[in-house]
Amino acid sequence: MLQRGANVLLIEARAEAGGSIRSERTTEGYVVENGPNTVVSKDPALLEHFAELGIADVRLRAERAGAKRYVVKDGKPVLLPNSPPTLLATPLLPLASKLRILAEPLLPRATTPDESVATFFARRLGSELMEQFIDPFVAGIYAGDPHSLSVQSSFPALWEAEQRSGSIVLGMITKATQRKPDNGEAKKPQMKSEMLSFHDGLATWPRAIAGRSVSGSGSTHPRRRCASAPRAGSLMCTAMDNHSQCRPIRSSWRLPRR
Ligand SMILES: Cc1cc2nc3c(=O)[nH]c(=O)nc-3n(C[C@H](O)[C@H](O)[C@H](O)COP(=O)(O)OP(=O)(O)OC[C@H]3O[C@@H](n4cnc5c(N)ncnc54)[C@H](O)[C@@H]3O)c2cc1C
């Protein structure tokens, strides 16, 4: 928005912008992440965005060795499966669960408009896989309960795969092998998926955005709560201060035309 010349008003209820992203460095020099620790992307636009914010050089990429993750089972480290063949070979699941996974393409598709992450994976892949893998995975990404999260919002690609092909496995294979129609548009540049953070933690990113809105034409208002919703074509905000008194802090501004 700043690039397009908008006068950005950043209103944040907490002391620092970033929401769940909160990083701190201890006196011993360690970086502690209180929320998310990495972001995964294969969109070159994100790297351009980091360069534009001046934080591309302090970004950290996960080492290839990090692709292998282990869990401790019966006192021994066991490789976490990261592909369909390793899922079928893993000693973490009994044979019955593996057969259940192989039967996934034969199961009927959902008829409900949405369901919880837990119901979706238990229905498609069995409750054992849901409890052993999906539950810890969801806790790691969303710090949430798979019984309360919507699968359509949390795993849209898998939900769409089932809707499209009646099966997660078939849907993903179809998508991977499908040729995109040539609509004459220039192809978007592609890059390999990267798992990223920064030398001082993930909060480097929202801090840079907040800093930019101060140094640009915008302004930042920490510990202020935005109390009104955007209106058509313009944004009007009122801030509520610590004493719960409502007061307008800025008049409305128009979004720039593309
Ligand atoms: C423990 C944990 C670990 C996670 N790990 C990962 C991970 O490794 N990788 C990953 O990709 N995702 C991870 N996530 C998910 C990720 O953090 C969230 O998806 C993402 O941060 C959501 O960003 P957001 O801006 O939509 O919301 P939030 O992070 O919730 O930010 C919303 C912000 O808006 C402010 N706000 C709300 N209402 C108002 C108001 N009325 N006025 C002013 N300010 C207001 C809040 O104070 C807050 O700062 C994790 C989440 C948690 C909790």
Sign of CA dihedral 185, 186, 190, 196: negative
Nearest to 100 by CA among 121, 71, 70, 115: 121
Q: How many CB atoms lie within 10 A of CB 115?
A: 16
Joined together, the tokens standing for residue 207 give: 């801090």
Nearest CA to ligand 1 atom 37: 13
Angle at 156 between CA 150 and CA 158, to 5 degrees: 105
Q: Which two tokens stand for residue 177?
A: 């092998």
pLDDT at 185: 65
Q: pTM (2 decimals)?
A: 0.74
Structural domains of the chain in order of their starting residue, each with its CATH number: 66-177 (1.10.3110.10)
**235 in ligand 1 pocket by Cβ < 6 Å?**
no
Rounded alpha-carbon distances, angstroms, from residue 247 to 123, 143, 226, 238: 50, 35, 10, 6
Distance, C-alpha 93 to centroid of its chain: 27
Each of the 258 residues of the chain gets a pLDDT tens digit; together they read 777 777 777 778 898 999 999 999 999 999 999 999 999 888 899 999 999 999 999 999 988 887 788 888 889 999 888 888 888 899 999 999 999 999 999 999 999 999 999 999 999 999 988 998 888 888 878 888 999 999 999 999 999 999 999 999 899 888 888 766 666 666 666 678 888 999 999 999 999 998 887 666 566 778 877 765 444 444 444 444 443 333 444 444 444 443
The pLDDT assigned to 42 comes to 86
Interatomic CA distance for residues 22 and 190, integer angstroms? 30
Compute the distance from residue 109 Cα to the ligand 1 centre, in Å. 32
Ligand 1 contacts CB of residue 36 (under 6 A): yes
pLDDT for 231 equals 47
Residue 228 C-alpha from the chain's centroid: 26
Task: Please name which of 161, 111, 162, 158 lies closest in space to residue 138, comparing C-alpha atoms.
Answer: 158
Residue nearest to atom 6 of ligand 1 (CA): 36
CA of 36 to the centre of ligand 1 (A): 9
